Amino acid sequence: MPQPKHAMEIFQLLDKSNCRECGEKTCLAFAGAVFQGRRKLADCPKLEREIIERFSEGDQDNVFQEGADYLEALKSKVAGADLGEVAEKVGAKFSGGKLTLKVLGKDFSVDTRGNLSADIHINPWVAVPFLSYLLYGKGLPVSGNWVSFRELKDGQERYALFQKRCEQAMKRVADTYTDLFDDLVHIFSGKQVEKQFKSDISVVLHPLPAVPIMICYWLPEDGLESSLNVFFDETADKNLDVGSVFSLGVGLAQMFGKLALRHGFPGAVST
């Protein structure tokens, strides 16, 4: 049996009774906590010993190794592709054997040998979607119609985890670190747009040119808590697989948390 590579695979191993004996409210929450490394599979008393042993600590190293292996596999695949043709499909620049497009406003490139280079730090959460976008994206133009993650193909079943690791994590940062939206505009080439869905702030980022992300934030009002939602263009699941869309959302949330920490706001990342 293959090792789980993401939280939904961990969820599939569970009893799904939401009995709460592990201390989490649902099995999905428990799966997310295991995926984040905050809990161990053995904390679920309903799991069979054989499954726990199969996915024990040592095996979890393999999970990360497999993630790294997947990145290497994508690089090899890109090395075997006609990068000129790929550049034309996604509207990227191609010169000197290097394909370049903008990631959060900065140059991000891959050469004909699959080597990556960029003006920003090359994190796996952006490197894997970047290569998937080149290899498997349809290169469709952005439609301008915004939808939530759960409306994307295969987004519904992952939405609870996306909400927790992306939207709630971003909301914690926005609630605490009030300069966040200015930073998104100035550091990550975001654009403040006309307020959408009656939000107080709407900012659009481009982690990939044809996969824009709109973050809408509602300030607290009349005893109601603040809220934050993330929207994607309705073509996002054609230009990228939903796993990569998930990875971009969660990766951005982690990056915002680090930004807040650097500015001295530890409360922005506490759970």
Please tell me the number of Cα atoms within 13 Å of 7 on its side-chain side. Answer: 25
Q: Which two tokens stand for residue 182?
A: 């200015």
Q: Output 44 or 248, the one with its CB closest to ligand SF4.
A: 44
Between 24 and 175, whose beta carbon lies closer to ligand SF4?
24
Q: How far apart, in whole angstroms, are the C-alpha atoms of residue 174 and residue 184? A: 11
One-letter amino acid for residue 71 of the chain? L
DSSP state of 266: G
Q: How far is the CB of 13 from ligand SF4 (least distance, A)?
A: 9
Smallest gap from residue 61 Cβ to ligand SF4 (A) = 22
**Nearer to ligand SF4 (CB atom), residue 15 or residue 234:** 15
For residues 186, 259, 145, 151, the Cα torsion angle rounded to the nearest 10 degrees is 180
Shortest distance (Å) from residue 104 CB to ligand SF4? 36
Beta pairing, strands 191-192 & 98-103: unpaired
Least distance (Å) between residue 50 CB and ligand SF4: 16
Our CB check for ligand SF4 shows the closer of 46 and 113 to be 46
Local structure of residue 235 (DSSP, 8 states): T
Return the beta strands (E) in the chain as ranges.
Answer: 93-95, 98-103, 106-111, 116-118, 146-148, 191-192, 201-208, 211-218, 227-233
In angstroms, give the least distance from the CB of 40 to ligand SF4: 11
What are the residues binding ligand SF4 (CB under 6 A)? Answer: 14-15, 17-22, 24, 27, 30, 44-46
Q: Tell me whether residue 16 or residue 195 sits nearer to ligand SF4 (CB atom).
A: 16
